[in-house]
C-alpha cells in the first residue's frame, strides 16, 4: 500500500497520534498528575527517613516519623499502581478504538479495492500496528510531558542559582538537541520499514496458510519458508537499525549531561576561584545537572517510542483513507418489495480496474420476474462478472443494469444486496457453527426456516452425522466438509435470505448425479417464486432453463432455449457435444 498519509505535512501524523489520545485526555492528565505526586512522595522519603534517624538518635518519640515514612512508602506505591492502571486502561482503550475503526473500515472496502490489497498486510495493521500505537498515544505522551516539566523546573531552579552556569548548560543541551533531532527521524523511518516488513510477512504467511494443502502437495514448504524468512529478516534488520539509532540517542543524552557537568565544573570553578560564585551554589548547580539525567532519559525513550507510534499511525491511516462502499453511510437493509425481480442489462461494457482489456462488451438482455435464466460459455467468457456487476461489486464502464426496473446505482446498496441471494463459485464456509454459517445472510431466521432449507438442499443427510447438529463447529473454511456439502451449505444460506433474485455461480458443479438432480428440482421449484440466474459450466444443469444466454469472450452471441440453441448456435452445439449431451432437454 503506498504511503500517502503524511500529505507532505510532517505535523499530520502527530495530529493523528494525538487524535488517538484525545478521548483519554482526562485520564492521561490524572495519570500525569499522579505520577508527579508519586515522584514528590518518593523525593520526600529520604527526608522522612532522616526524621526517623534524627528522632532515634535524639531519643525522641519515633512513632510519628515512622507513620509518616510508612505513609509515604505505601502512598507512593499505591499512587504508582493507580497511575499505571490508569495508563494501561487508557492504552487498552486506544487499541480497542483503533482496532474497531480499522475493522469497520476494512469490512466496508469496495471489492475492487480489496482485489488489489493483501489481506495478510491488512491483518498486521489491525493487530501489530495498533499495539505500537498503544504506548505511544498514552504513557509515552505522559512521560514526555512529565520529563519536559521536570527539565523546565530544573532550569528555573538553575536560573535562580546562577544564570551564567545555566547559559553554559543550555548551550551544551542545545547542541545535543540539534544532534538528536537529526537522528530521531531515522528511528521513525526504520520503525516504519520494520512494520512494513511485518506486514509483508503477514501477507506471505496468509498466502501460504491459505493454500496449506496445495503448498504441501506441491512440496513448496521450503520455498514458502524462504520467502517468509526473507520478510522476517527484513523486519529484523530494520529492528536492529531502530536499536542502533535509539542507542545513539541514548549516548548523546548521556554525553550531554556529562559534558554539561564538565563545562559547569570548569566555568563554575573559575568563577568560584575569582570569588563571583559561592562554592555552595556551584555544588547545588552540579547536583541539578545530575537531577536532569532521569527526565532526559525519559524524553529519549519517549522520542523512540513516539517514532514507532508515528510510523504505526501512518500505516493505520493508510487504511482509513481507502474508499468505502456507500453502504457504510446508509441505513441497515430494509426489504421494501417482495416477489421475484426482473433483471435487465442495457449495453453494458466492463473491464476490471487496472486491466485495459474489456471483459464484457455491449451486453444487453432482459429477464422477466421469476423463471430460470442460464449463462453458458467457455471459461473466462464473463459469466461470473455479470453476477459481480449485479451485486455492484464493480461499476460498469458503460451502460446500465436494472433490477426490478430500477438502476442498481439508484438502489441503496444494502437494500440491493438484501434482495439478492448470491452463491459464489467457491462459496466459503466460515469457521463457525453450521447454524451461524446458515444465518450469515439471514441473522433472524428461525430454526424452522433453517430446517426447511436444510431439507430443500438435501443437507438432512449431513445433519445426523454432525456431533452437535446445527451447533457443530465447521472447521476453518469448511475444510472438514466435502466440496459438495460446502456448496449445499452455501445454497441453503442464500435460500434462507428469501431472495428476490438468486445468483448461482457454478453452484451445482461439485454435486453427485443424484444430488444434482435433486437440487435441480429445488432450483426449478424456486424459479417459480424467485428469479434465478445460473452461471453454468455443465449444460446438464441448465438445459431446462427458461432461457439460456451464450457468452463468448465477453460478448453475448446467442439467446434462447436449449432446443433452439442446439439448432441455431454453433458454439452452444459444440459445448453440448463436448459435454456428451443429447440434444434433448434433461428431466
Q: Which residues bind ligand ATP (CB under 6 A)?
A: 115, 352, 355, 359, 377, 379-385, 425, 535, 537
415/401 Cα distance (integer angstroms): 16
227/236 Cα distance (integer angstroms): 14
282/288 Cα distance (integer angstroms): 10
Nearer to ligand ATP, 425 or 433 (CB): 425
Q: Please state the closest distance from residue 119 (CB atom) to ligand ATP, in A.
A: 14
Q: Please state the closest distance from residue 349 (CB atom) to ligand ATP, in A.
A: 13
Nearer to ligand ATP, 115 or 233 (CB): 115
Q: Please state the closest distance from residue 377 (CB atom) to ligand ATP, in A.
A: 6
Q: Residue 441's closest CA among 474, 418, 458? A: 418
Burial class of 460 by CB neighbour count within 10 A (0 to 12, 13 to 18, 19+): exposed
Q: Residue 322's closest CA among 53, 50, 2? A: 2
Kindly give, in sequence order, each residue whose CB lies less than 8 Å from that of residue 215, ignoring residues fewer than 6 positions away: 208, 221, 224
467/472 Cα distance (integer angstroms): 6
Strands ordered across the beta sheet of 547-552:
420-423, 501-505, 531-535, 371-376, 547-552, 555-560
Q: Please state the closest distance from residue 579 (CB atom) to ligand ATP, in A.
A: 13
315/16 Cα distance (integer angstroms): 11
Q: Where are the beta strands (DSSP E) in 304-354?
A: 343-350
Nearer to ligand ATP, 106 or 303 (CB): 106
Nearer to ligand ATP, 72 or 490 (CB): 490
557/554 Cα distance (integer angstroms): 9
Q: Please state the closest distance from residue 314 (CB atom) to ligand ATP, in A.
A: 28
Q: Please state the closest distance from residue 360 (CB atom) to ligand ATP, in A.
A: 8
Cβ(190)–Cβ(245) below 8 Å: yes
Q: Please state the closest distance from residue 379 (CB atom) to ligand ATP, in A.
A: 3
State whether residue 379 is helix, strand or coil.
coil
Nearer to ligand ATP, 307 or 361 (CB): 361
Cβ(519)–Cβ(458) below 8 Å: yes
Kindly give, in sequence order, each residue whose CB lies less than 8 Å from that of residue 367, ignoring residues fewer than 6 positions away: 342, 343, 344, 373, 531, 533, 547
Nearer to ligand ATP, 76 or 122 (CB): 122
| Kind and range of the H or E run holding 331 | none
Q: Please state the closest distance from residue 423 (CB atom) to ligand ATP, in A.
A: 13
Nearer to ligand ATP, 57 or 379 (CB): 379
Nearer to ligand ATP, 404 or 506 (CB): 506
- As a dihedral over the C-alpha atoms of residue 97, residue 103, residue 106, residue 108, rounded to 10 degrees, the angle is -90
Q: Residue 241's closest CA among 292, 286, 188, 282? A: 188
Nearer to ligand ATP, 395 or 410 (CB): 395
Cβ(429)–Cβ(474) below 8 Å: yes
Nearer to ligand ATP, 386 or 522 (CB): 386
Q: Please state the closest distance from residue 454 (CB atom) to ligand ATP, in A.
A: 27
316: left (phi over 0), alpha (psi -120 to 50) or beta: alpha
Nearer to ligand ATP, 203 or 381 (CB): 381
Q: Please state the closest distance from residue 536 (CB atom) to ligand ATP, in A.
A: 8
* DSSP output for 262-280: HHHHHHHHHHHHTTSS-HH
Q: Please state the closest distance from residue 553 (CB atom) to ligand ATP, in A.
A: 9
Cβ(506)–Cβ(523) below 8 Å: no
Maximum distance among all alpha carbons in the chain?
A: 121
Nearer to ligand ATP, 187 or 535 (CB): 535
Q: Please state the closest distance from residue 533 (CB atom) to ligand ATP, in A.
A: 12
Amino acid at each position: 500500500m503506498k504511503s500517502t498519509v503524511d500529505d507532505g505535512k510532517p505535523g499530520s501524523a502527530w495530529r493523528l497520534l494525538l487524535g488517538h489520545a484525545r478521548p483519554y485526555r482526562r485520564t492521561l492528565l490524572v495519570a500525569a498528575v499522579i505520577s508527579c505526586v508519586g515522584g514528590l512522595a518518593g523525593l520526600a522519603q529520604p527526608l522522612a527517613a532522616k526524621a526517623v534517624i534524627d528522632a532515634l538518635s535524639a531519643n525522641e518519640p519515633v512513632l510519628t516519623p515512622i507513620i509518616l515514612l510508612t505513609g509515604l512508602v505505601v502512598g507512593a506505591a499505591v499512587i504508582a499502581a493507580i497511575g499505571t492502571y490508569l495508563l494501561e486502561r487508557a492504552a487498552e482503550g486506544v487499541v480497542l478504538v483503533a482496532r474497531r475503526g480499522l475493522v469497520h473500515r476494512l469490512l466496508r472496502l469496495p471489492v475492487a479495492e480489496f482485489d488489489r490489497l493483501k489481506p495478510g498486510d491488512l491483518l498486521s495493521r489491525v493487530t501489530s500496528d495498533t499495539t505500537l500505537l498503544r504506548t505511544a498515544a498514552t504513557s509515552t505522551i505522559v512521560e514526555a510531558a512529565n520529563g519536559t516539566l521536570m527539565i523546565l523546573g530544573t532550569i528555573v531552579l538553575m536560573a535562580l542559582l546562577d544564570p551564567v552556569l545555566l547559559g553554559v548548560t543550555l548551550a551544551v543541551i542545545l547542541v545535543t538537541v540539534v544532534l538528536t533531532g537529526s537522528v530521531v527521524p531515522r528511528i521513525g523511518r526504520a520503525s516504519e520499514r520494520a512494520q512494513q516488513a511485518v506486514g509483508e510477512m503477514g501477507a506471505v504467511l496468509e498466502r501460504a496458510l491459505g493454500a496449506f494443502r496445495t503448498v504441501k502437495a506441491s512440496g513448496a514448504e521450503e520455498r514458502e519458508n524462504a520467502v517468509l524468512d526473507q520478510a522476517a529478516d527484513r523486519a529484523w534488520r530494520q529492528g536492529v537499525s531502530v536499536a542502533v539509532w535509539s542507542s545513539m540517542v541514548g549516548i548523546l543524552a548521556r554525553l550531554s549531561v556529562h559534558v554539561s557537568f564538565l563545562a559547569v565544573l570548569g566555568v563554575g570553578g573559575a568563577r568560584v576561584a575569582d570569588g563571583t560564585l559561592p562554592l555552595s551554589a556551584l555544588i547545588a548547580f552540579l547536583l541539578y545537572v545530575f537531577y536532569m539525567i532521569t527526565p532526559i532519559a525519559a524524553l529519549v525513550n519517549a522520542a523512540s517510542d513516539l517514532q514507532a507510534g508515528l510510523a504505526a499511525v501512518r500505516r493505520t491511516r493508510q487504511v482509513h483513507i481507502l474508499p468505502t462502499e456507500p453502504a457504510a453511510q446508509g441505513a441497515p437493509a430494509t426489504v421494501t418489495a417482495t416477489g421475484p425481480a426482473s433483471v435487465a442489462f442495457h449495453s453494458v461494457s466492463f473491464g476490471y480496474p487496472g486491466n485495459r482489456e474489456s471483459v464484457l462488451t455491449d451486453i444487453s438482455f432482459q429477464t422477466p420476474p421469476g423463471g430460470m435464466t442460464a449463462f453458458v460459455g467457455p471459461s473466462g467468457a464473463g459469466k461470473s462478472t455479470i453476477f459481480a456487476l449485479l451485486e455492484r461489486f464493480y461499476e460498469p464502464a458503460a451502460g446500465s443494469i436494472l433490477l426490478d426496473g430500477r438502476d442498481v446505482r439508484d438502489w441503496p446498496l444494502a437494500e440491493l444486496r438484501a434482495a439478492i441471494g448470491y452463491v459464489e463459485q467457491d462459496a466459503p464456509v466460515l469457521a463457525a457453527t453450521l447454524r451461524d454459517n446458515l444465518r450469515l445472510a439471514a441473522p433472524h431466521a428461525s430454526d424452522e426456516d433453517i430446517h426447511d432449507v436444510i431439507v430443500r438442499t438435501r443437507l438432512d443427510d449431513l445433519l445426523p452425522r454432525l456431533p452437535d447438529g446445527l451447533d457443530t463447529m465447521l472447521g476453518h473454511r469448511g475444510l472438514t466438509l466435502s466440496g459438495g456439502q460446502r456448496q449445499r451449505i452455501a445454497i441453503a444460506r442464500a435460500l434462507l435470505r428469501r431472495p428476490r433474485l438468486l445468483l448461482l455461480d457454478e453452484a451445482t458443479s461439485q454435486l453427485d448425479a443424484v444430488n444434482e438432480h435433486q437440487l435441480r428440482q429445488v432450483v426449478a421449484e424456486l424459479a417459480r417464486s424467485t428469479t434465478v440466474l445460473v452461471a453454468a459450466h455443465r449444460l446438464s444443469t441448465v438445459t431446462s432453463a427458461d432461457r439460456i444466454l451464450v457468452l463468448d469472450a465477453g460478448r453475448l452471441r446467442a439467446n434462447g432455449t436449449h432446443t433452439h440453441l442446439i439448432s441455431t448456435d454453433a458454439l452452444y452445439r459444440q459445448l453440448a457435444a463436448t459435454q456428451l449431451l443429447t440434444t434433448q432437454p434433461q428431466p
